[in-house]
Amino acid sequence: MDRPYELIEASDDEELQLLSETVRKFARAHVAVTSEESVGYRREIFDLMAKSGLTGAAISEALGGTAMSSLATSSIIFELSRVQLGPAIYLSVHYMVSRLIETWDRAGRHHPTLRDLAAGKSLGAFCLTEAPAGSDAAALKTQATKLTDGYRIDGEKIYITSAGHADVYLVFARTSGEGKEGISAFVVAKDTPGISFGAHERKMGCEGAPIASVRFDNCIVPPSALLGDEGAGYKIALSGLSAGRISIGAAACGLASASLELATRYASERRQFGSAIAEFQGIQFMLADMYLRLRPALLLVRDAANKLDRKAPGGEERLASSAAKCFATDAAMFVTTEAVQIFGGAGYLKDYQVERFMRDAKMLQIVEGTNQIQRSLIARSILK
Ligand SMILES: Cc1cc2nc3c(=O)[nH]c(=O)nc-3n(C[C@H](O)[C@H](O)[C@H](O)COP(=O)(O)OP(=O)(O)OC[C@H]3O[C@@H](n4cnc5c(N)ncnc54)[C@H](O)[C@@H]3O)c2cc1C
């Protein structure tokens, strides 16, 4: 069969194939979970990613990055997720922050920050969500008050991936009245006085990518911290979403692909009633249904990445990325749940990976715009 569970196909160019093979080896050697204790956040994984040249994939060569295509960065996220979701998630956020800072930087103000992000000396975090502003991000309340020489940021962000571990925070805060137009974006360093971090939230899965709140109390930043124009913050946040959603779709495919491979192997080895359980039609249909979700998910992610890479006209990549994110993450939820079922009692134990993949898949239906929000966006796009 021609690479049934792969994101990168035999018809893709050699460079892409080499990248995905290299990342697969890297992931197996350094990211794979070897014990319960090894699932948590470990900075050394990010440091190793830096050494392998993965941290600068979303930054231009002039700033020390490798300016990879969306399909290439998706393949990195896909391969990492096949063994452990956490590092794939914080790298995906790091890519989004890197891309946004470089795209919206004016007059090279943020070049030193971008060089550090590319080299993996700094890890990036994206601070949009607040208690009153989740799906409705435009309702955010964090205030950035203009001073004679800079801004004072006050407020609290919640559920922030890598909070406390990241070195650079892309923060969305209000510089004027209500609504989208009043929001601006700021690049804030971790050591800025007035920034503090809550304890890690205890969550269902994805332990390798901790989340926590980020507080800003009288946090003074210089005028150069502003990214783009005052009032452009919402536009900036939205402009990173297509790439972010494709990345989440790729992560979902990684979980689903690993789960289908594990379930297939287990079904061939586990014997009941005198034969391998893979001989039973009930199990065969489950495997077939898993494939029937995974394969289109891979194709939708490829389609969205290709559209983004060739800058398809009319913002086609927005519909494609919502479709990829929504379908692939629903597919991952289905495939990982079925994998647990095929493992039977063993599937419910921590000793096998499938229960972790199932818990991790749930997160992907929620982040980067919930799947209800994706469906609304898809419907709006169809009805236009
Ligand atoms: C593990 C994890 C990591 C995260 N990392 C980050 C991060 O790094 N940075 C960041 O800024 N945020 C992050 N988030 C926040 C995440 O983006 C939000 O949780 C998500 O956008 C949903 O917002 P909410 O939790 O407030 O849910 P709500 O918006 O309150 O939604 C609750 C429910 O209502 C539904 N709903 C809401 N509005 C509509 C509507 N119009 N139509 C239909 N249904 C609707 C939702 O789909 C959901 O089912 C993270 C969250 C998690 C769980």
**9 CA from centroid of ligand 1 (Å):** 33
Structure tokens at 64: 């020390």
Phi-psi region of 136 (alpha: psi -120 to 50; beta: other; left: phi over 0): beta
Is beta strand 124-127 parallel, antiparallel or unpaired with respect to 168-174?
parallel
**365 CA from centroid of ligand 1 (Å):** 9
User: Which amino acid type is present at position 320?
Assistant: A
Distance CA 280, CA 272 (A): 10
Cβ count near 108 (within 10 Å): 9
Catalytic, 368? Answer yes
Is the Cβ atom of 363 under 6 angstroms away from ligand 1? yes
Number of H helices, E strands in the chain: 11, 10
Is the Cβ atom of 366 under 6 angstroms away from ligand 1? yes
CATH architecture, domain defined by 14-119 = Orthogonal Bundle (1.10)
Q: Which CATH superfamily is domain 124-233 in?
A: Butyryl-CoA Dehydrogenase, subunit A, domain 2 (2.40.110.10)
DSSP assignments along 168-230, one per residue: EEEEEEESSSSSGGGEEEEEEETTSTTEEE-PPPP-SS-TTS-EEEEEEEEEEE-GGGEESST
- How big, in percent rounded to 5, are the helix, strand and coil portions of the chain? 55, 15, 30
Is the Cβ atom of 17 under 6 angstroms away from ligand 1? no
Which ligand 1 atom sits closest to the C-alpha of 209? 1
**8 CA from centroid of ligand 1 (Å):** 30
Distance from chain centroid for Cα 178: 29
Return the domain boundaries, the chain: 14-119, 124-233, 237-383
Is the Cβ atom of 128 under 6 angstroms away from ligand 1? yes
**136 CA from centroid of ligand 1 (Å):** 9
Cβ count near 262 (within 10 Å): 19
Do 242 and 250 touch, CB atoms closer than 8 A? Answer: no
Is the Cβ atom of 134 under 6 angstroms away from ligand 1? yes
Residue 314's pLDDT is 73
Which ligand 1 atom sits closest to the C-alpha of 370? 47
Cβ count near 31 (within 10 Å): 25
**107 CA from centroid of ligand 1 (Å):** 34
Is the Cβ atom of 359 under 6 angstroms away from ligand 1? no
- The mean pLDDT values, 10 residues at a time, for the chain of 384 residues are 78 95 97 83 96 98 97 98 98 98 94 98 98 96 97 98 98 94 98 98 96 98 96 96 96 98 97 98 98 98 96 84 98 98 96 96 98 97 91
Residue 177's pLDDT is 85
Which ligand 1 atom sits closest to the C-alpha of 163? 8
Which ligand 1 atom sits closest to the C-alpha of 201? 1
Is the Cβ atom of 160 under 6 angstroms away from ligand 1? yes
**361 CA from centroid of ligand 1 (Å):** 15
CATH architecture, domain defined by 237-383 = Up-down Bundle (1.20)
pTM: 0.97
Residue 34's pLDDT is 82
CA-proximal residue: ligand 1, atom 37 (nearest): 135
Is the Cβ atom of 241 under 6 angstroms away from ligand 1? no
Residue 3's pLDDT is 56
Which ligand 1 atom sits closest to the C-alpha of 369? 21
Do 332 and 260 touch, CB atoms closer than 8 A? Answer: no
Is the Cβ atom of 376 under 6 angstroms away from ligand 1? yes
- The residue whose CB lies within 8 Å of the most ligand 1 atoms, and thus the one to mutate among 204, 368, 370, 377, is 370
Distance CA 265, CA 206 (A): 24
Residue 178's pLDDT is 84
